[in-house]
Amino acid sequence: MLVVYGIKNCDSVKKARSYLESRQVAYRFHDYRVDGLDAALLQGFIDALGVDAVLNQRSTSWRQLSDEQKRDLTPDKALQLMLAVPTLIKRPILDNGEQLIVGFSPDLYQTE
């Protein structure tokens, strides 16, 4: 079964969920704020996609971090930041059991 990871009030997550529902595609929604986020899950995303694909450095949340928090960013430091501030994670992340897709794009979702 598909799993959509994100935050329910995120516009991209809403679009992805609406797209899947309009096509009657069964999926489970995992909301980081409600269902939680653990280091193992996030590390799996980073291992599969790379930290640059998972960490949203263009987000409002990123801009609100201190320069110290952004400086000398290692994969482990990025992981800790995303665990502390889940809105730093690009959304949605769709897991079809074989691959992860970051963001919402009807073209990418059509192949699923």
Catalytic positions are 10
Helix/strand/coil (H, E, C) string of 31-97? EHHHHCCCHHHHHHHHHHHCHHHHECCCCHHHHCCCHHHHCCCCHHHHHHHHHHCHHHECCCEEECC
**Tokens representing 100?**
């992860």
Query: Please, what is the Cα angle at 108 between 19 and 79, to 5 degrees?
Result: 95
